[in-house]
Structure 1
Amino acid sequence: MAAPKVLIPMSDYGHDPTETSIPYRAFKNAGFDVHFATENGKTPECDKKMLRGATQKLLGATCQAVKAYDAMAATPEFTTPLSWSSPTFSLSSYNLIFLPGGHEKGVRQLIDSPVMAQHLASYFPQTVKPSTKNVAAVCHGVLALAVAKLPDGEHKGKSILHECDTTALPGMFEGVAFWGTRLFLGDYYKTYGVGSDSVETAVRKVLDNPDKQYANSIGLSPFVVEDKKYNYISARFPGDADLLAEKVVAMVQANLL
């Protein structure tokens, strides 16, 4: 059996190093064939504030995650990514699309891309169980799914997540990080600037019944949500990365049996 194929779409700059490298390491350890893609094939770079210096020590990646990121960043698949804006690019051959998060404003390149939204809108409906197609996302990666709209059919114009159970970065976590660092980091923790919706609010807005579909936890214990209809798993923040990776590997492997 061929190794499961994984694609990790990224902005040129700004994704969270833990949310990217910890799942990547788990995918590689499981024998998955992992590819990266950026808009024009430029080598991506994760948020430096989460990797080095005072902000890393206070709120950023652990030493383990920094080592995992440095190892990932030296691989040929990371340094020579595909171009997701190429007319020949397609998600159709992949068994898993994994969307890492990150709050640095550079991640808007991926979230706001109509091209990536179209790719995701074509792919996500194919993950209805049973299927060999899978999607997973964490933090702002969930927002990239939330803004992708179905192009046709009964639910045309609705988010591809409209009927899914999901989580994302809790509004409380985002607010604490923003207000706790505003004096020395400005609006660094608000991806779309002061006054914009939190990730949680933006995701809840696209759900058919957010009170039932949006699952939240403000505890620090690892937390993920697995949808019942789709092969889709979501998580909140870097603290969930190990559990998310474990659950996603198990989902992909089970769906290929």
Structure 2
Amino acid sequence: MILFLLPAGDYDPTEAAVPWAALRDAGFEVRFATPGGKVALADPRLTDLGFSWLSPWLMTRRAELAAYRRLTEDPHFLSPSPYADADPAEITGLFVPGGHAADMRTLLEDATAQQLFARVFTQGLPVGAVCHGVLLAARAKDPATGRSVLHGRRTTALTSLLELTGWNLTRFWLGRYYRTYRTTVQQEVTAALADPAHFLAGPPLPVRDTAARPGRGFAVRDGNYVSARWPGDCHRLAAEYLDLVRAHEAGAVHRPA
């Protein structure tokens, strides 16, 4: 099974629903894990509350929101396991969506989730992460080296440009909503890498991809790991991750030494 790690809430609905739908439609079993085994819902500001006049640019788009509504009806979504109960022997892949509101910390700072991520990653199983989800990868330590599992890998994540733009647009009424931590995602992830050049920011002016045009998105694939920056990359990311899962089934994915 492919396991999605979700926080207690506040994740980005696009970043969870689009990859889930791609895997489900391809016939793969997807399960979910949350901190305490309770159902976790996406950030309500992205699904319902909105951002006043900025809503057309910052809220979840209609097609992706419909995919999220379908996700919330999935029986597996409605019966998640606690992180601690996830059986590594049953996991054939791992996916971590992002988000920026406060409850994302329940995933990113969870030692059990970090250890599970490291175990799956170092086994060479297909792993995907997007946006703040890449922080979990950066914080997951390879037990053989004590370094981040991303040390020696190429990756992307939410760029400082995207993160600070969202913050500056909304900080006067939403405060630090867009700033999960004082350090930007790009800064923390880059610090975990063997070389700062291994962080690939992608085009400076990102364009949202669509189901019909996934090529507009940006993703970085390195061995058994694929990453993306923001919700606008998620159709590309879903296609890349699905290809990675299929390649692993066919025995064509490099396993870490």
- Tell me if TM exceeds 0.5: yes
Stretches of structure 2 lacking an aligned partner (at least 5 in a row): 208-216, 251-257
Which residue is 2:218 aligned to? 223
Which residue is 2:31 aligned to? 35
The answer to whether the 8 Å contact 1:21/1:65 transfers is yes
Look up the SS of the partner of 1:251 in the other structure: helix
- In 2, Cα distance between the equivalents of 1:219 and 1:58? 14
Matches within 5 A, 1:153-232: 153=144, 155=145, 157-192=146-181, 196-211=182-197, 213-217=198-202, 218-221=204-207, 222-227=217-222, 230-232=223-225
The answer to whether the 8 Å contact 1:17/1:46 transfers is yes
Look up the SS of the partner of 2:64 in the other structure: helix
Q: TM-score, normalised by structure 1?
A: 0.89
The answer to whether the 8 Å contact 1:166/1:214 transfers is yes
Which residue is 2:61 aligned to? 62
Which residue is 1:130 aligned to? none
Amino acid at match of 2:247: A
Look up the SS of the partner of 2:77 in the other structure: helix
- In 2, Cα distance between the equivalents of 1:121 and 1:62? 33
Stretches of structure 1 lacking an aligned partner (at least 5 in a row): 128-132
The one of 102, 105, 110 equivalent to 2:107 is 110
Deviating above 4 A after TM superposition, structure 1's stretches of 4 or more consecutive aligned residues are none
Amino acid at match of 1:95: T
- CA-CA distance at 1:235 after TM superposition: 0.2
The answer to whether the 8 Å contact 1:90/1:119 transfers is no
- CA-CA distance at 1:256 after TM superposition: 0.8
The one of 131, 147, 158 equivalent to 1:139 is 131
Amino acid at match of 1:186: G
The answer to whether the 8 Å contact 2:130/2:228 transfers is yes
Amino acid at match of 2:115: Q
- CA-CA distance at 1:248 after TM superposition: 0.8
Amino acid at match of 1:249: L
Cα distance per residue 1:160-181 (max 9 Å; x no partner): 1111100000100001100111
- CA-CA distance at 1:145 after TM superposition: 0.7
Amino acid at match of 1:94: I
The one of 6, 22, 29 equivalent to 1:10 is 6
- In 1, Cα distance between the equivalents of 2:241 and 2:16? 13
Look up the SS of the partner of 1:240 in the other structure: helix
- CA-CA distance at 1:122 after TM superposition: 1.7
